[in-house]
Chain A
């Protein structure tokens, strides 16, 4: 009886200890999230009460040619960024995995882009890619590669490439460090045995390294996809979605609708439009990880 009471007390103490975190999560995550879903189902103009309109906002978005452009841009921005970050992050991890001297120093340097504020990164890249005064164009002209400046932020395709480059530069260390940590848990014996069997570096990577770290790869890719899909700063600072709407993505479009045009309901719908895709991705990755564990 006494033991049961102790267990109850312990359980209550446990609840009390997690209560602050639970309250914070409910207040800072659950409430805004549910509120956003509710607002997306309303005609809500800033300063006026919200009126429930069901799925009308989503219908308007689907009918909007502008939203289709934004959705396409968001997909291009996200997929482009993630693929390049994956490749560079993997290369970084593989290179560092075999570095013995100065390993910690090099890791520190490579982590720098990840710890620099995004605003600074976006402003720096904007300056680097400036048509007239940007370091990249000045350098290209000086070494005779081009006669006049490349329209990094002016050409619609290059503008998308440019914002992807800035995003990649900021995000690849997260991939690299995560992959490196995973690689260091792979038993050396596996590589030794493969070497005895005559496997080369390429085979070792495909047959041992990648299968051993694929769980980490999946999780890192998923997390980065969510963050990239919701990225705002880089595009807003570098191009404001321009030229025209060539780099307008979900976050900048939602900002334009919600803050500049004061249409919160529609803005919420625009920002939640990618939610089903993200939810599907999360379910797929979680199921995959569970299967792997089993």
Chain B
């Protein structure tokens, strides 16, 4: 055997060995893959995994669980959509069902929803828009992490202010706090390029009657007069009264849990995870931390429900029956309540019965439940659509706000710019 032949032999052998894992099927019989969000409440994640594994064990299925964070969810799903390697069971965010159903990549799970409804009561009507398209359910609502208004009750007492109920009130109280010299930048509303930015941005605009679609989900544009009013109330905090720092427009952490718990801000819109952190560490500010439903505006209290997770069964999977059965088992009353009550009030159900559970019968629990009941899906007053998803994920709304604050663009021009971008999105992704 020549040296050349030996070398080629070794090369072919190496390439064959390297190719073996690629030939293995992604989902063999009796195996299911599940992707879920890694939340800020590790004990709840453990309960969910234990529930899912127990359900799989009963069904004689081997379950492989993978996790992602809010940051890398779409990186993972984008790759999987293109490579046709979506998992058997996917926990999708608020816009995921609309996007994947529109691609024809989700199975109809109306039967799973019907079974869950028997156990957990009807789905909240305001949650339907994110999971029901063309009369069929393409995802089962798992839970919502509602943004509530966190505020420092001790500081409000000190400056003689009532807990704010409107966007204007937040501004007024922030001015009082600043004038009293308690904090330099008490108004911790972030208008940055993350969900923490576009969730309150939707709540703000909708509360001023400045939605960009009609009830069918078709483009109408942000109405100028209402949009201007909404912009006025938030930009004043940065440009005139200076009760908010420009850092809140970045992703600096100056408005998040840590800043609040460090005593640097009076207000922040946040998921209930601050309560989890403060309770689990017996934080000194726990006694001075209070929550309230997010503020209302002239058009009412129209809150966004952006942080919602939903179970879906991608149609690529070969074991859809088993996948649906596993979701049904995880959503069975006993399992679901165990998960919910272990979530430090972070995971709020979107079915009626568990919301009536005594677990929520605390002052903060009632506010959290109220928030979820009043929330609206992305793209309200229409259903969630791929176009609405792109409006938020493309940061069109927060860009509109920061164009005025950072780039000093006139508010009218910022609204025109936003409407132009939104129209381009809806022209490209027409609502069916």
A interface, CB within 8 angstroms of B? 9, 12-13, 16-17, 19-20, 46-48, 65-66, 126-127, 129-133, 148, 151, 153-156, 159, 237-247, 256-262
Contact = CB atoms under 8 A, between A and B. Distances in A.
B82 A46 contact: yes
B257 interface: no
B249 A154 contact: yes
Contacts of B185: 131
B190 to A, nearest CB: 9
Contacts of B417: 65
Interface in B322-378: none
Contacts of B193: 240-242, 256
A159 B193 CA distance: 15
B110 interface: no
Nearest to B254: A131
B8 A242 contact: no
Nearest to B252: A153
B405 interface: yes
A226 to B, nearest CB: 23
A151 B245 contact: yes
Interface of B: 2-4, 7-8, 11, 14, 74-75, 78, 81-82, 99-100, 103, 105, 184-185, 192-194, 245-254, 258-259, 262, 264, 390, 393-395, 399, 402-403, 405-407, 417
A243 B405 CA distance: 9
A248 B105 CA distance: 32
A66 to B, nearest CB: 8
Nearest to B74: A259
A28 to B, nearest CB: 13
Contacts of A19: 11
Nearest to A260: B393
Nearest to A242: B250
A9 B4 CA distance: 7
Nearest to A129: B252
Most B-side CB within 10 Å, residue of A47, A151, A238: A47
Nearest to A248: B193
Given A130-B254, A133-B258, A154-B252, A242 B394 contact: no
Nearest to A43: B428
A156 B246 contact: yes
Across chains A and B, which 3 residue pairs bring their CB atoms closest together, nearest first?
A154-B247, A244-B402, A154-B246
B252 A131 contact: yes
A128 B96 CA distance: 36
A247 B252 CA distance: 13
B178 to A, nearest CB: 12
A247 B192 CA distance: 12
B11 A243 contact: no
A156 B406 contact: yes
A243 B246 contact: yes
7 contacts: A16-B4, A148-B184, A156-B246, A239-B252, A256-B193, A258-B78, A262-B99
Given A13-B4, A243-B402, A259-B75, A47 B390 contact: no
A91 B318 CA distance: 62
